[in-house]
Chain A
């Protein structure tokens, strides 16, 4: 079946074959068994793939392991932030007041107790979704944005910055919007977590990146950028732009 639910024609079968000649679906295989043209096309694409595979198989230089530093706490990537929050108190307080009118007051706590696993998961998630961190001036479409920041999450003004990535991702077992806006120093990750209540603002301190988890109503927002990025400028804008659905 095609994406529209109609029966596929040979052109559509050939598109499917060209997308993955080595593993045609049962439906494609069933059609190919009874269609001379598509059968020949499959053989042609598989032959092409053999050549592609040989061409990609370039010579590899000898493995050179770099000098590996001893593993101490300070060398471990994704280190949970085991120190007091470096978030300036005025940012946290300002953020809270800005939100209070819309969402409700949250108290800012500089201690990260109880949020190690959330910060860890956020950093690990960013590490495992590097495709998001592209420097680009191409904004995501309104449709894409609306499908990710959907009414079940709440609403967000798009003028918070150039939003270049929007994906629904799972953090702490909950599907949440993962957005990227382009900052001065590189892409900035925003994770809108409407159901992830935190007790206070806290720092995310990863390798080469810095960030913060801010309490926002009954949820929280994580903002993570390059180490040199001045996140204070963006935090307020982000907080003001978001309103959770009730």
Chain B
């Protein structure tokens, strides 16, 4: 196989993997950083990094956790560079408000806001489990934690959300 064929094959593989998992990458980034604009930047950087290190992905079956790991790292790099302030739920940017908005379903919007308010340590494993379908073992590996700590964070996260939603319903 000549160089051009190899390049075309590599690009086709990249496009295939990215087209399948792009939505997961974006949603994960958006819930990690809680800002759609930053999430797009993080995903762009993650795509570039994935392109450069595609040969390290030996098995396409493992593409999803591989890409999410890259997104996680790019998000960490972004925040190390920018040292952003904590997000204030009462003072959201228009883009952040749009991310949470769900005019037809106020309960859904309330839930988004409740998730948005969750501390990072609780929000991330919840996103990985509920949205990405990761097992607690996979979450522990990705986050570099003990599985027991992941389980604790997950049940606390759900309790916090349950309490928030009950408060909203009572208000």
Contacts and interface: CB of A to CB of B under 8 A. Distances in A.
A57 B155 contact: no
B136 A3 contact: no
Interface in A20-37: 20-21, 23
A68 B51 contact: yes
A131 B7 contact: no
Nearest to B45: A66
A132 interface: yes
A77 B46 CA distance: 12
Q: Give the secondary structure class of B's interface.
A: helix
B127 interface: yes
Nearest to A128: B69
B76 A19 contact: no
A101 interface: no
A184 interface: no
Nearest to B147: A19
Interface stretch (A44-52, A191-199, A217-225): A44-52
B70 A71 contact: no
A149 B62 CA distance: 30
Interface string B140-171: 00111100101110110011011001000000
A68 B48 contact: yes
A71 B143 contact: no
Contacts of A54: 108, 111
A60 B26 contact: yes
B49 A77 contact: yes
A10 to B, nearest CB: 14
Contact of A53 (B19, B73, B130): B130
Interface in A125-179: 127-135, 165, 167
B131 A53 contact: yes
B108 A55 contact: yes
The size bracket of the interface on A is 35 or more
B52 interface: yes
A63 interface: yes
Contacts of A16: 151, 155
B52 A70 contact: no
B52 A56 contact: no
A18 B112 contact: no
Contact of B158 (A45, A57, A58, A63): A45
A55 B101 CA distance: 10
B144 A20 contact: no
A64 B18 CA distance: 10
A63 B19 contact: yes
A75 interface: yes
Interface of A: 3, 15-16, 18-21, 23, 44-45, 48-49, 51-58, 60-61, 63-66, 68-71, 75-78, 124, 127-135, 165, 167, 186, 207-208
Given A54-B111, A127-B56, 13 more contacts: A19-B158, A51-B108, A51-B165, A57-B131, A58-B112, A60-B26, A68-B14, A128-B66, A130-B73, A131-B72, A135-B80, A167-B144, A186-B80
